[in-house]
């Protein structure tokens, strides 16, 4: 799991379950907020459209592939919408001070990052520090090393390697072109039925 920021960021308020259920983070190198897990945008919008100074203000909640809900609060801009599929490291918003934040105070522009078990206030809160690896140290500056374009590539099956192996064993795929066309599938079926017979 990566952090919500690319480059250095500062922890301005620690995670204290029951008192402060998430981490307050301030981007140093960039104000872009990134998805820390792949999943679906469960909600992107105002906590209270009638009162922009309430709670998380403008925020994003992602239902991660692990089933948990990842909250990114106080955003000045949203870069995703409810229902979007997001991949880990996608930019989902820009840090800000919407919601219950004193713009000129020690809070100022930041992202409140929190993990819950369900989409309601009072739901079980998960330890954001142990899950994210971000040290629970006030004023600590942290950088998880993530840079744009360095996210691990999606693991796709290596069709070319499969074709080469089939060809080498006498199951004709034609040219190993990485495309699983009818010839490749036929060769695969022949290889499998030979194994089973």
**Footprint of Zn ion on this chain (CB under 5 A)?**
24, 112
In angstroms, give the least distance from the CB of 166 to Zn ion: 55
Minimum CB distance to Zn ion smaller for 47 or for 184: 47
Whether 131 contacts 4, CB under 8 Å: no
- Residue closer to Zn ion by CB (options 24, 32) is 24
DSSP 3-state percent helix, strand, coil across the chain (nearest 5): 15, 30, 55
The residues, any chain, with a CB within 8 Å of residue 73's CB and separated by 6 or more, are: 22, 47, 55, 56, 57, 59, 99, 111, 112, 113, 114
Cβ closest to Zn ion, residue 34 vs residue 110 = 110
Any idea what DSSP says for residue 170? T
The residue (of 23 and 173) whose beta carbon lies closer to Zn ion is: 23
CB closer to Zn ion, 112 vs 116 = 112
The span from the CA of 125 to the CA of 121, in Å, is 9
Q: Whats the size of the chain, residue-wise? A: 197
CB of 171 to Zn ion, least distance (A): 59
User: Which residues have C-beta within 8 Å of that of residue 68, sequence separation ≥ 6?
Assistant: 115, 116, 117, 126
Q: State the nearest-atom distance from the C-beta of 57 to Zn ion, in Å.
A: 11
The DSSP line for 105-151 is SSS-SBEEEEEESSSSTTSPEE-HHHHH-----TT-EE-----TT-S
Nearest-approach distance from CB 22 to Zn ion, in angstroms: 5
Nearer to Zn ion, 71 or 171 (CB): 71
Residue with tokens 């060809």: 167
**Residue in the shown chain whose Cβ atom is closest to Zn ion:** 112
- Least spacing, CB of residue 89 vs Zn ion, in Å: 22
Least distance (Å) from Zn ion to the CB of residue 12?
9
């Amino acid at each position: 799991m990566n952090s919500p920021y690319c480059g250095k960021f500062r922890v301005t308020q620690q995670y204290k379950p029951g008192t402060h259920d998430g981490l307050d983070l301030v981007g140093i190198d960039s104000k872009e907020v990134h998805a820390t897990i792949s999943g679906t945008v469960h909600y992107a919008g105002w906590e209270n459209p009638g009162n922009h100074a309430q709670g998380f203000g403008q925020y994003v909640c992602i239902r991660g592939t692990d089933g948990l809900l990842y909250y990114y609060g106080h955003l000045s801009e949203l870069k995703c919408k409810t229902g979007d599929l997001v991949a880990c490291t996608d930019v989902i918003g820009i840090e800000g001070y919407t919601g219950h934040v004193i713009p000129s105070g020690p809070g100022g522009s930041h992202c409140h990052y929190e993990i819950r078990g369900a989409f309601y206030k009072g739901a079980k809160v998960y330890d954001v520090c142990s899950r994210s690896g971000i040290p629970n140290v006030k004023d600590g500056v942290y950088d998880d090393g993530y840079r744009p374009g360095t996210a691990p590539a999606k693991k796709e099956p290596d069709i070319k390697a499969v074709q080469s192996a089939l060809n080498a064993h006498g199951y004709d795929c034609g040219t190993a072109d990485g495309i699983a066309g009818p010839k490749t599938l036929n060769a695969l079926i022949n290889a499998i039925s030979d194994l089973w017979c």
